[in-house]
Amino acid sequence: MNKINSLRGMPDFYSDDLISWTPVENKLEKIFKTFSIGEIRTPILEYTDLFKRSVGDTSDIVNKEIYSFNDRNDQSLSLRPEGTAGVIRSVIEKKLDQQQSKFWYMGPMFRYERPQKGRYRQFHQAGIEFLGYEEGKSDFELIALVCSIINGLDIKNAKLKINHLGDKDSKKEFSSSLVNYLQPFKDQMNEKDIERLNKNPLRILDSKDHKMQEILKDGPSLSNFISESANDLLLSIKKTFGDQCKIEIDNKLVRGLDYYTGLVFEACSSDLGAQDAFIGGGRYDSLAKTLGGKDLPAIGLAIGLERLISISSVSRLNEKKLVFISSTSNIAPLAFKIANQLRNANSNISLDMDLTDSSLKAKLRRANKTNASHAFIFGDEEMTNKTVTVKSLRDDAEQVSMSITECIDFYKKI
Ligand code: HAM
């Protein structure tokens, strides 16, 4: 029979991989709690229309990257490519779209992108959404959170790029001025940028084409279209948090999702390679209305966990590990009872019960190859005497015979 492989860009994770995930996830959760943010969990599957109307059907995400299928009822459903749309759908449904709330979430997202280092088809995000807050205080609070993440997770060589897209009208005005400016250069543009010019002109600012970047140098600048207060906001954010993380105002930062208005930002690290953004976010004041809700000004962000974890030096879990070896001639139920008493006595230790039928010698050899510090041996003699033999696996110290109570006390103190 042919073996079945995983889908491209959708990796499996084993304990050895996850050992660096857990401390980062825990640290993020702690940071979110210090900002008094509550958790939300929304489904992975939503109606395709939700993403068309939010992320936008001119965006690459909806156009080319969404995983969609028709269910048995012929409804088009999609695996979520991001978390914001689902959160807004949910608060509208629960009639929470007229109050202020702060949410965080973590989970898998799906985009049919070309897989490469740092870019997957199933990846994980931790996201934050501040709902019901107009431009101002919440923008500062969210940038404070970004700085806490960068510093709390000890991210080196990080830079936070910020920009302001203006309100709906100034975004429109800038967009048409950009189109007018670029029309005469159409024959020098590549296919992808011509498509962007027709469908979503702002995205051209993101073009990786050098010639395009040269052309854009003399083109209109977003900073001339946005209000004085918007420019002030950018300067004030840079001034306020500049000593906590490196901040740069980048008038070419537009972001790939259609719902943004106002402040947008991206945190990058030169340690990541080509896919260097590990946080992306911004303000999206019109999204709730677009999805049939009330006016709900909002701002949020999402962290790419694979990327963050690969550059975070938050220490790996220093897991304490021990091995319990039952080497009686017949199965000794008491061994399992003692092992469980030990586990209940100290939940910081991982106690591996050797379940094989091999000899004591083979079991000890195997235990020595793990990073376990001690082996607890329970053989025929120990069963008769109601004792456990404790053997250090790290040094040549004499093994010690302990009563079960002594053994539990010893285990508590490890
Ligand atoms: P985004 O910029 O599309 O924003 O994604 C946020 C982060 O997710 C990126 O900076 C990156 O680290 C990670 N990411 C995106 N695609 C992939 C991929 N294919 N493989 C690995 N990591 C990836 C959003 O998703 C918005 N929902 C953020 C937001 C929340 N805006 C407002 N609220």
| Distance, CA of 123 to CA of 44 (rounded, Å) | 12
pLDDT for the residue numbered 392: 96
Nearest-CA residue for ligand 1 atom 1 is: 280
pLDDT for the residue numbered 26: 94
- Point out the ligand 1 atom lying closest to the alpha carbon of residue 83: 27
The structure tokens listed for 278 are 């590990």
Dihedrals φ, ψ of 92, to 5°?
-65, -45
Judged against a pLDDT cut of 60, whether residue 28 lies above it is answered with yes
Judged against a pLDDT cut of 80, whether residue 61 lies above it is answered with yes
Around ligand 1, the residues with Cβ closer than 6 Å are: 82-84, 111, 113, 119-120, 123, 125, 127, 129, 256-257, 277-282, 284, 300-302, 304, 306-307
| Distance, CA of 171 to CA of 106 (rounded, Å) | 31
- Point out the ligand 1 atom lying closest to the alpha carbon of residue 84: 27
pLDDT for the residue numbered 114: 96
pLDDT for the residue numbered 278: 98
Higher pLDDT, 280 or 258: 280
pLDDT for the residue numbered 414: 87
Among 283, 280, 310, 296, CA closest to 81: 280
Nearest-CA residue for ligand 1 atom 32 is: 300
DSSP state, 124?
Answer: E
Where is 208: in which H helix or E strand? Answer: none
- Point out the ligand 1 atom lying closest to the alpha carbon of residue 303: 7
Angle between helices 137-152 and 228-241 (to 10 degrees): 30
β-partners of residue 74 are: none
Angle subtended at Cα 190 by Cα 186 and Cα 194, rounded to the nearest 5 degrees: 55
Ligand 1 mean position to 38 CA, how many Å? Answer: 20
pLDDT for the residue numbered 57: 82
| 261 contacts 283 by C-beta, under 8 angstroms | yes
Residue 17 CA to its chain's centroid (Å): 15
Nearest-CA residue for ligand 1 atom 14 is: 304
Least confident of 230-234, 317-321, 324-328: 317-321
Nearest-CA residue for ligand 1 atom 23 is: 304
Mean pLDDT estimate for the chain: 94
Least confident of 112-126, 245-259, 317-331: 317-331
| 313 contacts 376 by C-beta, under 8 angstroms | no
Per residue in 187-220, pLDDT (tens digit) is 999 888 898 888 889 889 988 888 999 999 999 9
Judged against a pLDDT cut of 60, whether residue 317 lies above it is answered with no
pLDDT for the residue numbered 62: 86
pLDDT for the residue numbered 40: 98
In angstroms, the Cα distances linking 103 to 59, 82, 121, 267, 303 are 25, 15, 25, 20, 14
Ligand 1 mean position to 380 CA, how many Å? Answer: 58
Work out whether strand 320-326 and strand 349-353 pair parallel, antiparallel, or are unpaired: parallel
pLDDT for the residue numbered 315: 58
Angle subtended at Cα 384 by Cα 383 and Cα 386, rounded to the nearest 5 degrees: 60
Given pLDDT bands bounded at 50, 70 and 90, which one contains residue 60? confident
Out of 28, 59, 63, 82, give the residue to mutate to test ligand 1, the one with the largest number of ligand atoms within 8 Å of its CB: 82
Q: What average pLDDT does this structure show over 313-325?
A: 79
Judged against a pLDDT cut of 80, whether residue 46 lies above it is answered with yes
β-partners of residue 163 are: 264
- Point out the ligand 1 atom lying closest to the alpha carbon of residue 61: 3
Q: What average pLDDT does this structure show over 285-301?
A: 96
Neighbours of 65 (CB within 10 A): 17
| 105 contacts 301 by C-beta, under 8 angstroms | no
Given pLDDT bands bounded at 50, 70 and 90, which one contains residue 318? low
| Distance, CA of 63 to CA of 332 (rounded, Å) | 62
Judged against a pLDDT cut of 70, whether residue 72 lies above it is answered with yes
How many CA atoms lie less than 13 Å away from 346 in the CB half-sphere? 19
Out of 66, 307, 310, give the residue to mutate to test ligand 1, the one with the largest number of ligand atoms within 8 Å of its CB: 307
Least confident of 55-64, 142-151, 389-398: 55-64
| 80 contacts 44 by C-beta, under 8 angstroms | yes
Higher pLDDT, 42 or 213: 42
The pTM of this model reads: 0.89
The structure tokens listed for 190 are 């590549």
Out of 65, 106, 109, give the residue to mutate to test ligand 1, the one with the largest number of ligand atoms within 8 Å of its CB: 109
Least confident of 103-107, 206-210, 219-223: 206-210
pLDDT for the residue numbered 316: 57
- Point out the ligand 1 atom lying closest to the alpha carbon of residue 281: 31
